Amino acid sequence: MPAVVALAAALTVASCGGSKQNAAAGHDAKGAVDVAALGARAFGPNAEARSGRIDGEIAITLKGVPRFAEPFSITNSGVFSYRKGSALPDYALDVGVRDNGVTLTSVGGRSYVSLGSTGFEVPAAVRGRLERSSARGRNGLTRTLEQFGISIGRWETDKRAGPTEPLDGVQTRRVDTGVNVGRVLRDANILTGLMTSLGITRAVGLAPEISANARRILVRSVRSSKGTSWIGVRDGVLRKAGLTIVFAIPKAKRAALGGISSAKVVASVDVTEVGRPQKIAKPSPLGHYADFRLGLAALAEQQP
């Protein structure tokens, strides 16, 4: 499977008052917007980001590979809730890859994957992988996203404060950015590593990783890239983010990427229900994890 598809990591703050309040809200002493302070609130410790709902999508268009002649999407959606000191947030997230999907659940100190209506407790090694990735986040939202290699704060470059804009009834500050494509590609391997540990990459026809050589080719083939995020003015919580990357692969390098001549990746994540209590339950019924792997093996046999 071409390496670009591993970008499916499914993919940001202010109020007002006196000078001391303005600094905390992302303004300097003269009232100018301080984008570094905005990022510190959105991606740093922030109790307001303890719970909510995320809906992410990555739309991928590839040219040069007949079996991927039609654009396809990868999705990640569901609810999360973080208790301070927990190794992982609690969450129930539906992850869709092409026409297949699983549900990942974390609750009560245990992690599960569901295929169809049956849940399976994942091995300790897989939960350990999730915990290590999640630990890179600084609040409930970023800890949830980091498990899948989604780290908007590391990806953004050349940040420029835009206007305040209403978004789903919340006043937000828009931030326009460049994109560090190399970091996006490295972080994508966090997701592919997780999916490989579960046996999902083989089942849906994805590569287990983006090699260092493939990353170098892709970075050098970037035609354009841009990002935008929206951060809640009052609470400093990321409410929406997106990025677009366009690749044009030189002829001499296409064979190394499975024949890709060009690619376009459009990713977005919406964050809603911020701060609301979320009801997250262990899946039921539960089956044996070996049966989950057998189900994936059968799915893999159907791949062209």
Q: Please state, for a pLDDT cut of 90, what percent of the chain lies above it.
A: 67
> How far apart, in whole angstroms, are the C-alpha atoms of residue 203 and residue 102?
12
Q: What are φ and ψ of residue 80, in 5° steps?
A: -145, 160
Q: Please state, for a pLDDT cut of 70, what percent of the chain lies above it.
A: 86
Tell whether the model's pLDDT for residue 28 goes beyond 70.
no
If you search the block for the tokens 């929406």, which residue do you land on?
Answer: 240
pLDDT digits (tens, 9 = 90+) for 229-240: 999 999 999 999
Per-residue pLDDT, 20: 34
Q: Which of 98-112, 151-165, 196-210 has the lowest mean pLDDT?
A: 196-210
Average pLDDT over residues 202-219: 85
- pLDDT, averaged across the chain: 86
Which of these, 147, 142, 146, 204, lies nearest to 5 by C-alpha position? 204
Give this prediction's pTM: 0.85
